[in-house]
Amino acid sequence: MNHQDVVAKLIELVTPFAEGRALVINETTGITSELGLDSLKVMDLVVAVEDEFDISVPINALAEVRTVGDFASLIQKSAG
């Protein structure tokens, strides 16, 4: 899966968690800063992502994730 495909899928997954807090979600959208996901929601999102992509995302790697694009890159890395 290329980066843009991962981003598109990730936007699909993150949208319900955002509960309408952003009109547009794209690669540069901040997951906590703009979408307002708290730590619990982030962990629920991680589980949804892991199920969708059949990967395990190390929680220590999440510290570097700010935007949807960052998360997409981590997903690609975790998928090997």
Footprint on this chain of other proteins (rule: CB under 8 A):
38-40, 43, 46-47, 54-61
Task: Name the minimum Å distance from CB 17 to other proteins.
Answer: 13
- Cβ 60 to other proteins, closest distance in Å? 5
Nearest distance, CB of residue 57 and other proteins, angstroms: 8
Q: Which is nearer to other proteins, 1 or 47 (CB)?
A: 47
- CB count, 10 Å around CB of 20? 8
Nearer to other proteins by Cβ, of 27 and 30: the residue is 30
- Rounded to whole angstroms, the Cα distance separating 80 from 71 reads 14
Q: Select 22 or 62, whichever has its Cβ closest to other proteins.
A: 62
Q: By CB neighbour count within 10 A (0-12 exposed, 13-18 middle, 19+ buried), where does 66 fall? A: middle
Q: For residue 3, give both structure tokens.
A: 């980066």
Does residue 31 contact residue 42 with C-beta atoms inside 8 Å? yes
